[in-house]
Amino acid sequence: MELSDRARAVLDEARRAGDADVAWKEGRVFSLAYYAGPEVEQVAERAHAMYTSANGLNADAFPSLKKFQAEVVATVTDWVRGDDQAAGYRTSGGTESILMAVKAARERGRRERGVSAPNAILPASAHAAFEKACYYFGVEARRVPVRADWRADVVAMDHACDENTVLLVGSAPQYPQGVIDPIPEIAAIAARRDVNCHVDACMGGVTLAFLERSGETVAPWNLSVPGVTSISVDLHKYGYTAKGASVIVHRNRQLRSYQTFVTDNWLGGLYGSSGVLGTKSGGPMAAAWAVMRFLGDEGYLALTRSAREACLRLADGVDAIDGLAVRARPDSTLVSFGAVDTDRPVDVYAVADGLAARGWYVDRQGPPPSLHCTVNASHAATVDDFLDDLRSVVADVAAGDRRGDAGAYGTVD
């Protein structure tokens, strides 16, 4: 339909509001956004628009959304090596998937063992969303230091468990340094204690699945590992779908049942919910389904190879810069790096400031003070330019002994 002048003016204003946003489509942003090209973006946007106002609260009214969820979950279940007993749900993102994993573990402990003061065993590297989930659901978060190689210390995790433990967590990979935790050993502790073991593969679920399919050797990480009870995979990251798309897959329907909430204790009839949200826009569901159908296995193989090659090129390039070193050789597509330990190490937060002045966006994290790059397929064309600027900025910061600010991974503004 033809838009009115007022409608066009509003849309123009909306477009102008984004002028100061990071240039994520240009491969200059190593965080927050993922880009697989204009055609994939169009598929996602158009499918999203078709179902924006459809409501996933009730699949009886919107069987289209039931179809999208079922087929998306089935595809992800195959990626993570779930069998025909596995069952899952789509969520609004990694945080909701993690919330549901913690809630399911708490409920299982409560119902099966009468645990009233539950705790979860978390490596220090486990995502902050676990801390949030434990806070929301009244679960004690027991953080355990990681090993020198940044991977979970399995012995320390085992010692931190007691009769009230309901959950052990491993990551594939963990976000801060990009390495895969020893999932079989963590899962074995959980199996011995008959408690839940969740693998946070929000960052790596798509990438690791297709690295394996392309012939790379990948450390064990998925539902093929005995003792793993659930796993989360974000689609709006390396699935390149629209924001608001993740999946949590449980080993079986009984374990999945602890995630759900059902009540009839009001005057409005039976109310059932699979996650935190009640009303759920059909837009992200449709977009995820459409992009996954459009790309297929061959598309994801190509995107994964491109992102992995760019990641390794970046890691090698960083290691070659005087004064910098990667924290760990990346197991997937995440690169974390910091200053070499000398009498006068370069301030990496000042380096981030210098990069920002040149139009690059990287995450700042710590401890220890580090810069973090989430490398996706769009960076294949820009890694060399980034490394050129990084070398120049590091030299400038070192010469001027400049200092920067640590910033924040997430904000509450």
Q: For residue 343, what pLDDT band results from cuts at 50, 70 and 90?
A: confident
Assess if residue 217 is contained within a domain: yes
Q: Which of 329, 326, 299 is nearest to 387 (CA)?
A: 326
Domain that holds residue 375: 297-400
Indicate whether 109 and 138 sit together in one domain. yes
The pLDDT value given to residue 66: 95
Mean residue pLDDT of the chain comes to 95
Indicate whether 276 and 350 sit together in one domain. no
Q: What are phi and psi of 53, to 5 degrees?
A: -95, 0
Distance CA 312, CA 326 (A): 11
Distance CA 127, CA 121 (A): 12
Indicate whether 88 and 149 sit together in one domain. yes
Assess if residue 407 is contained within a domain: no
Indicate whether 253 and 318 sit together in one domain. no
Indicate whether 317 and 237 sit together in one domain. no
Assess if residue 79 is contained within a domain: yes
Q: For residue 413, what pLDDT band results from cuts at 50, 70 and 90?
A: low
Indicate whether 304 and 286 sit together in one domain. no
Q: What does the pLDDT average to over 329-351?
A: 92
Indicate whether 87 and 225 sit together in one domain. yes
Assess if residue 288 is contained within a domain: yes
The pLDDT value given to residue 153: 98
Q: Which two tokens stand for residue 304?
A: 């994964």
Q: What does the pLDDT average to over 131-154?
A: 98
Indicate whether 158 and 288 sit together in one domain. yes
Q: Which of 146, 207, 110 is nearest to 367 (CA)?
A: 146
Q: Please, what is the end-to-end C-alpha distance for the chain in angstroms? A: 37
Q: For residue 342, what pLDDT band results from cuts at 50, 70 and 90?
A: confident
Which has more confidence, 344 or 102? Answer: 102
Assess if residue 30 is contained within a domain: no
Look at residue 410 and tell me whether its pLDDT is greater than 80: no
The pLDDT value given to residue 344: 81
Q: What does the pLDDT average to over 2-8?
A: 93
Assess if residue 289 is contained within a domain: yes
| Domain endpoint, select from 277, 293, 309 | 293
Domain count of the chain? 2
Look at residue 194 and tell me whether its pLDDT is greater than 70: yes
Find the CATH number of the domain harbouring 378: 3.90.1150.10
The pLDDT value given to residue 327: 97
Please classify residue 98 by burial: count the beta carbons closer than 10 Å to its beta carbon, then call 0-12 exposed, 13-18 middle and 19+ buried: buried
Which has more confidence, 59 or 302? Answer: 302
Q: Which of 274, 267, 287 is nearest to 54 (CA)?
A: 287
Q: For residue 409, what pLDDT band results from cuts at 50, 70 and 90?
A: low
| Domain endpoint, select from 274, 293, 312 | 293
Look at residue 345 and tell me whether its pLDDT is greater than 80: yes
Indicate whether 53 and 151 sit together in one domain. yes
- pLDDT tens, residue by residue, 361-401: 999 998 999 999 999 999 999 999 999 999 999 999 988 87
Q: For residue 166, what pLDDT band results from cuts at 50, 70 and 90?
A: very high
Assess if residue 5 is contained within a domain: no
Assess if residue 26 is contained within a domain: no
| Domain endpoint, select from 293, 324, 340 | 293
Indicate whether 49 and 180 sit together in one domain. yes
Distance CA 43, CA 239 (A): 13
Find the CATH number of the domain harbouring 75: 3.40.640.10
Q: Which two tokens stand for residue 328?
A: 């760990």
Partners of 271 in the β-ladder: 263
Indicate whether 241 and 303 sit together in one domain. no
- pLDDT tens, residue by residue, 223-276: 999 999 999 999 999 999 999 999 999 999 999 999 999 999 999 999 999 999
Indicate whether 226 and 302 sit together in one domain. no
Helix, strand and coil percent figures for the chain, each rounded to 5: 45, 15, 40
Q: What does the pLDDT average to over 279-298?
A: 97
